[in-house]
């Protein structure tokens, strides 16, 4: 886990996900996307799994299988991750 | 049995992206071979390759970029062009009746190199979720099928450089068994340091630094080959079916194919081209044609004296004294492993269509091979049929016969 | 005239035993061959269990030079091919080289050797610009896995079509299916066909860890593979190989060969859905099953046994159960279905051929191998999965299926040799 990672916010998480899983032209991120279903953003379980790899390495966050397969929005993913990042607000 | 037609073609090659650009460059004898830019090749025994450099970000959906190797992106572009060319994109065929059969040689090797680097440099937890499929041999068929919603019988063959023709033959088999259309061919390439030393390992690459002095098949000075990346994807359909759906044009027909395998190499009994000759003869039998019916040959052109000798022996044994023109457009692209055969098939059909046989570059054919190599500039010839030859390391031989559209 | 294809020889390298007899003994006993990985220290990985082969290349008669040069999966293939040829009773002089071909399925080729060599040339991961001076001269053989089929062809004297079929985890079915077509259309009379994989290496473990596909049940290695059970949570990686001698039926009959089964039908489809995901409705697998049954000329209710893909991931088990119901209708509930992956793990491309071997042996021996470790079925998996104990049954028509990354779905129907064909 890196010592100098920026705080995990919804914007930061959205950026990580975009880097991990690409961006669908059809659903470019703008506006309030925190609660938009991931499927509508063009992201499937694989996208979440790749994001989970990054979250683990950069923030020390470990998501369980059920969390990975069950998460439905960025807001949910952020909440799951923050539970394991004591420093995050 | 109804004929199997080629109704669409897509090309990615070092000397041209897209069929039209490739064909224009090929007739103009423009080579795409140069010093490797993808990584610093200084420390390696070979430094030249045929690269296809493009920024995929504005050509492919963003979701596909992180999960694909460069060669898979190129294959997706070729498939897209082939589908557009055939005019079958609008879901006019039942999706469970359109298949995808590609050939691979080393899969998404550069992607695999990056993940091996992460694993061994940093640890297992850094390995990408996409590594579970992005490097493997089946990836191009899978990604093409998903992107275009094609659910028919599909497959992936590996037979080194011979595999691309074998894939087209398998697609033809499926069409003959009733599948409406099959996307087939191969797009290949592993231009990363790890792939480079793997390709260099047998000592078959040319060490020349000057493109004009490297990869000179059938030349007395031949000293090896130059790898290239790219290839072609074709759409195959049963001819009556293509007509029935109102296909705009048939680009040509796949008339025959055969694959054979050589005995274990033996220093006491050098390769005489015996297995290759049998492949050519069986492919001719399959097409119902005789050697005299073949107007032009697209050679494998390994670029090392022993292999060039074997191929020349096979061709002269089949064609006798007749100086059938032999074309080696891959002197402009490098050898693309699985991608080479399909690109030669496309090139052969374009040559037949236009009456122009593309030349080989950089090579001065040695007389003792007894081949009528087309060099320097295109040969004008009203060809109706072509034989395409592809050979893979370890003894794979594949031969295909194609014919004119009408 | 239709050329029918029969299986006249079988060779097996499997977790739990080398050779057909130990393989079949393991399957009918319901014992498992899964264990904590011994091939290297797997402790840094999420999943540390696998089904490994106890394979002694020298004891199997491989030349020491071949052992040092050939990938483990290629060694498996040479041993299994030799067994299959011996089992078939075909003498070398009975094989016409030009009418004999080879197809070898493999999902990941020589990946274990590639990784070993990568570690050497990169100085254990330090250098991106890998060191050419540390590359072995035969690195190309690992780089392009058609070398695997080439070695088998050289060893068996085949000079007809020789190819590797690599469709991920359906490779083992598709390789045999492809060989069947080559015989049917008259290109070959004999095909040495099968599949091999030896993927138990750090890079393979790491990538399956990343997608949570393999089970983390590391504290119970011998019961870790639990297809269709409520508690299953991923597959157990395996390794192995099965190779067959396939013959045109009259070719086998002319030499009075023992025949295990006929290949009645084969079909494959793509789901065009997802590189690793499966659509829950099982539609494309059902389509493949229907097409294979149709080719074999048998009705869905004639199927006596289904050898499932049964990998033990939640999505697979449900996908597959749906596919069987869709393809077989009410008969699905009356048909025994089992997964030998519960015992020998999931050897990626190889497993499809090992499963064909299990089906042929089931027909031969009149017994259905069980699904081991199935104590508490997932309520969504409500078929007869033959839990724990093998079952005696006269089998005339057997279906085996596979499902692979890339969306591949394949199905093969084996029939009694006497009743094949249309």
Gap between the Cα atoms of C290 and C302, Å rounded: 12
* Residues of chain A with a CB closer than 8 angstroms to some CB in chain C: 44-46, 49-50, 53, 65, 68-69
C-chain residue closest to B155, CA distance: C167
Contact (Cβ atoms closer than 8 angstroms) between residue B282 and residue B258: yes
pLDDT in tens, chain C (422 residues): 789 999 999 999 999 999 999 999 999 999 999 999 999 999 999 999 999 999 999 999 999 999 999 999 999 999 999 999 999 999 988 999 999 999 999 999 999 999 999 999 999 999 999 999 999 999 999 999 999 999 999 999 999 999 999 999 999 999 999 999 999 999 999 999 999 999 999 999 999 999 999 999 999 999 999 999 999 999 999 999 999 999 999 999 999 999 999 999 999 999 998 999 898 999 999 999 999 999 999 999 999 999 999 999 999 999 999 999 999 999 999 999 999 999 999 999 999 999 999 999 999 999 999 999 999 999 999 999 999 999 999 999 999 999 999 999 999 999 998 644 33
For residue C165, what are the domain limits? 5-110+145-417
Q: Please report whether residue C312 resides in a domain.
A: yes
Q: Which residues of B261-278 are buried (b: 16+ CB within 10 A; e: fewer)?
A: bbbeeeeeeebebbbbbb
Q: How many domains does chain C have?
A: 1
Residue of A nearest to B118 (CA): A57
To the nearest whole angstrom, how far is the Cα of A60 from the nearest Cα of chain C? 15
**Of C308, C263, C283, C311, nearest in space to C412 by CA:** C263
Cα-based angle C191, C193, C194 (whole degrees, multiple of 5): 170
DSSP-assigned letter for residue B369: G
- What's phi and psi for B173, nearest 5 deg? -60, -45
Q: Is C124 part of a structural domain of the chain?
A: no
B155 half-sphere exposure, CB direction, 13 A CA radius: 29
- Which tokens sit at C205? 């473990």
Cβ within 8 Å of residue C192, ≥6 positions away? C81, C84, C85, C100, C101, C102, C103, C152, C153, C156, C158, C243, C244, C245, C246
- Active-site choice (C169, C241, C359, C381): C169
From A79's Cα to the closest Cα of chain B, the distance in A is 22
In a domain, C396, yes or no: yes
The pair of structure tokens assigned to C326 is 């869709």
The DSSP line for B201-225 is: TTS-B---SSGGGS--TTBTT---B
Beta-carbon separation of C287 and B45 below 8 A: no
| Any domain includes C397 | yes
Q: Evaluate whether residue C139 is within a structural domain.
A: no
pLDDT of the residue at A30: 62
* B262/C79 Cα distance (integer angstroms): 21
Angle between helices B340-354 and B19-27 (to 10 degrees): 70
pLDDT for res B358:
98
3-state secondary structure of C240: strand
At CA B112, angle to CA B111 and CA B117, rounded to 5? 100
pLDDT digits 0-9 by tens, B23-42: 999 999 999 999 999 999 99
Is the Cβ pair B200, C135 closer than 8 Å? yes
Query: Looking at residue C420, what is its pLDDT?
Result: 41
* Structure confidence by residue, pLDDT tens digits, B252-273: 999 999 999 999 988 788 889 9
Distance CA C380, CA C314 (A): 10
- Answer yes or no: is C137 within a domain: no
- The residue count of chain C comes to 422
CATH architecture of A10-82: Orthogonal Bundle (1.10)
Residue ranges of chain B assigned to CATH 3.40.47.10: 4-252, 255-403
Q: What is the pLDDT of residue A84?
A: 86
Q: Give Cβ neighbours of residue B158 (< 8 Å, ≥ 6 apart).
A: B103, B104, B105, B137, B338, C109, C144, C145, C146, C163, C164, C165, C166
Query: How high is the pLDDT of residue C111?
Result: 98
Output the CA torsion B164→B168→B169→B172 (10° steps).
170
Whole-model pTM: value is: 0.97
Considering the segment(s) B4-252 as one domain, its CATH architecture is: 3-Layer(aba) Sandwich (3.40)
Round to whole Å and give the CA distance between C215 and C229. 13
pLDDT at B242: 92
Would you mind telling me the total number of residues written for chain A in this entry? 89
Residues in chain A closer than 8 A to C275 (CB atoms): 46
Q: How far separated are the first and last CA of chain A, in Å rounded?
A: 18
Residues in chain B: 406
Residue B91 confidence (pLDDT):
67
Query: Is some CB atom of chain B closer than 8 A to the CB atom of A21?
Result: yes
Q: What is the mean pLDDT of each run of 10 residues along chain B (406 residues)?
A: 90 98 98 97 97 88 94 97 89 83 97 98 96 97 96 97 98 96 97 97 95 97 97 96 89 98 88 96 98 98 97 97 96 98 98 98 96 97 98 97 94
The CATH number assigned to the domain with range B255-403 reads: 3.40.47.10
Instruction: Note the pLDDT of residue A28.
Output: 58
Cα distance between residue A77 and residue A81, in whole Å: 6
Q: Distance (Å, rounded) from C-alpha C214 to C-alpha C101?
A: 35
Strand B356-357 to strand B325-327: parallel, antiparallel, or no bridges (unpaired)?
unpaired
Give the burial class of C170: count Cβ atoms within 10 A of its Cβ; 0-12 exposed, 13-18 middle, 19 or more buried: buried
**Closest by Cα among C172, C182, C293 to C244:** C172
Long-range contacts of C215-220 (CB under 8 A, 24+ apart): C215/C47, C215/C49, C215/C312, C216/C46, C216/C47, C217/C49, C218/C36, C218/C47, C218/C48, C218/C49
Of C122, C124, C207, the CB nearest to B132: C207
- Within a domain: residue C129? no
Q: Tell me whether 0.95 is exceeded by the ipTM.
A: yes
Nearest to B335 by CA among B164, B221, B109: B164
Q: Name the pairing type of β-strands C397-404 and C100-105.
A: unpaired
In this prediction, residue A27 has a pLDDT band, given cuts at 50, 70 and 90, of low
End-to-end CA distance of chain C: 10
- C346 as an active site residue: the answer is yes
Pairwise CA distance, residues C57 & C10, whole Å? 19
> Using the beta-carbon criterion (under 8 Å), do C207 and B263 form an inter-chain contact?
no
Task: Output phi, psi for B31, to 5 deg.
Answer: -90, 145
Looking at residue C366, which CATH number applies to its domain? 3.40.47.10
């Amino acid at each position: 886990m890196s010592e100098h990672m920026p705080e995990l916010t919804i914007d930061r998480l959205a950026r990580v996900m975009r880097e991990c899983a690409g961006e669908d032209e059809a659903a470019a991120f703008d506006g309030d996307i925190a609660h938009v279903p991931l499927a509508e953003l063009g992201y499937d379980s694989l996208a979440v799994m790749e994001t989970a790899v990054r979250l683990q390495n950069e923030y020390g966050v470990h998501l369980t299988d059920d969390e990975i397969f069950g998460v439905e929005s960025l807001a949910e993913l952020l909440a799951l991750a923050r539970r394991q990042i004591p420093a995050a607000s | 049995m109804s004929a199997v037609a080629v109704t669409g073609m897509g090309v990615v090659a070092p000397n041209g992206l897209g069929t039209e650009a490739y064909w224009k460059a090929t007739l103009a004898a423009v080579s795409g071979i140069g010093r490797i830019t993808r990584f610093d090749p200084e420390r390696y025994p070979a430094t030249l390759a045929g690269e296809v450099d493009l920024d995929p970000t504005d050509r492919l959906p963003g979701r596909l970029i992180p999960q694909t190797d460069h060669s898979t992106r190129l294959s997706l572009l070729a498939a897209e062009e082939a589908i557009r060319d055939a005019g079958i994109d609008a879901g006019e065929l039942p999706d469970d009746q359109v298949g995808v059969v590609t050939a691979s040689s080393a899969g998404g090797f550069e992607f695999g190199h990056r993940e091996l680097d992460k694993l061994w440099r940093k640890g297992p937890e850094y390995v990408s979720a996409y590594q579970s499929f992005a490097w493997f041999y089946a990836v191009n068929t899978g990604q093409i099928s998903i992107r275009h919603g094609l659910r028919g019988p599909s497959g992936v063959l590996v037979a080194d450089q011979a595999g691309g023709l074998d894939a087209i033959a398998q697609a033809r088999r499926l069409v003959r068994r009733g599948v409406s259309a099959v996307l087939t061919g191969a797009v290949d390439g592993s231009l990363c340091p790890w792939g480079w030393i793997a390709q260099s390992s047998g000592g078959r690459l040319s060490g020349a630094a000057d493109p004009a002095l490297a990869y000179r098949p059938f030349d007395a000075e031949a000293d090896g080959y130059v790898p290239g990346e790219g290839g072609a994807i074709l759409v195959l359909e049963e001819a009556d079916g293509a007509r029935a759906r109102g296909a705009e044009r048939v680009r040509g027909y796949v008339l025959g194919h055969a694959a054979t395998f050589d005995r274990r190499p033996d220093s006491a009994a050098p390769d005489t081209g015996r297995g290759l000759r049998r492949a050519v003869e069986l492919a001719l039998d399959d097409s119902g044609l005789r050697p005299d019916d073949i107007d032009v040959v697209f050679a494998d052109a390994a670029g090392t004296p022993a292999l060039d000798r074997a191929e020349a022996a096979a061709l002269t044994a089949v064609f006798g004294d007749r100086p059938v023109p032999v074309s080696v457009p891959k002197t402009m692209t490098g050898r693309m492993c699985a991608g080479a055969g399909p690109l030669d098939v496309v090139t052969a059909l374009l040559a037949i269509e236009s009456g122009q046989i593309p030349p080989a570059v950089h090579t001065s054919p040695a007389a003792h091979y007894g081949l009528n190599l087309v060099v320097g500039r295109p040969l004008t010839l009203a060809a109706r049929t072509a034989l395409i030859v592809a050979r893979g390391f370890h003894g794979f031989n594949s031969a295909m016969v194609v014919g004119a559209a009408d | 005239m239709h050329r029918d294809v029969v299986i006249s020889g079988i060779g097996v390298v499997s977790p739990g035993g080398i050779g057909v007899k130990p393989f079949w003994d393991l399957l009918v006993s319901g014992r498992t061959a899964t264990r904590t990985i011994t091939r290297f220290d797997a402790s840094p990985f999420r999943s540390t269990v696998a089904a490994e082969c106890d394979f002694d290349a020298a004891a199997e008669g491989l030349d020491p030079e071949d052992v040092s040069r050939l990938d483990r999966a290629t060694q498996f293939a040479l041993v299994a091919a030799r067994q299959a040829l011996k089992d078939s009773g075909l003498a070398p002089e009975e094989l016409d080289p030009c009418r004999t071909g080879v197809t070898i399925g493999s999902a990941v080729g020589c990946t274990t050797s590639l990784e070993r060599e990568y570690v050497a040339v990169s100085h254990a991961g330090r250098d991106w610009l890998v060191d050419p001076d540390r590359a072995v001269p035969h690195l190309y053989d690992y780089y392009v896995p058609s070398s695997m089929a080439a070695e088998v062809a050289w060893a068996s004297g085949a000079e007809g079509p020789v190819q590797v079929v690599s469709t991920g985890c359906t490779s083992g079915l598709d390789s045999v299916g492809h060989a069947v077509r080559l015989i049917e259309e008259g290109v070959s009379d004999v095909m040495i066909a099968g599949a091999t994989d030896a993927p138990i290496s750090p890079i393979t473990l790491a990538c399956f860890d990343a997608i949570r596909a393999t089970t983390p049940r590391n504290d119970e290695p011998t019961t870790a593979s639990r297809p269709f059970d409520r508690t299953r949570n991923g597959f157990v990686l395996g390794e192995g190989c099965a190779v067959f001698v396939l013959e045109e039926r009259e070719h086998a009959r002319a030499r009075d060969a023992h025949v295990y089964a006929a290949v009645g039908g084969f079909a494959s489809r793509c789901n065009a859905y997802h590189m690793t995901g499966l659509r829950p409705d099982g539609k494309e697998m059902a389509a493949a099953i229907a097409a294979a049954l149709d080719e074999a000329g048998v009705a869905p209710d004639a199927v006596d046994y289904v050898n499932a893909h049964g990998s033990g991931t939640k999505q697979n088990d449900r996908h597959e159960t749906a596919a069987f119901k869709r393809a077989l209708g009410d008969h699905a509930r009356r048909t025994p279905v089992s997964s030998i992956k519960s015992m020998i793990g999931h050897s990626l491309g190889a497993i499809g051929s090992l499963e064909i071997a299990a089906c042929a042996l089931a027909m031969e021996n009149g017994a259905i191998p069980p699904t081991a470790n199935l104590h508490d079925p997932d309520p969504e998996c409500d078929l007869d999965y033959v839990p724990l104990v093998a079952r005696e049954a006269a089998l005339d028509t057997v279906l085996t299926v596979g499902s692979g990354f890339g969306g591949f779905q394949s199905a093969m129907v084996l029939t009694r040799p006497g009743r094949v064909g249309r």
